[in-house]
Amino acid sequence: MIFLKLMNKIPMINDSSVDDLRCTTCLLPMQYQTKKGEKFLWQCFKCGKQYLVSVNTNAIEERWSPPR
């Protein structure tokens, strides 16, 4: 019963508005690098994680590279 009372007091987070792409490892904003073929390359400069976002299908590939 106490859990239900607490759940009513905790506000819901609205994460539907995405202003930036965040690294899933560091939670820092990813930085846009370049366009490779039909994919946009985003990279985290702290850990080196890369996302390749497809232009046509919005599919995301995850890769690792050395941090800068």
Query: Residue ranges of the domains in the chain?
Result: 27-68
What does each of the 68 residues of the chain score in pLDDT, given as a tens digit?
444 444 555 555 555 545 678 888 888 888 988 998 889 999 998 899 998 988 888 788 888 887 66
Q: Count of CB atoms within 10 A of residue 50's CB?
A: 16
43, 29 contact by CB (below 8 A): no
Q: Is 32 helix (H, G, I), strand (E, B) or coil?
A: strand
Whether this prediction's pTM lies above 0.75 is answered by: no
**Type and span of the H or E element at 9:** helix 2-9
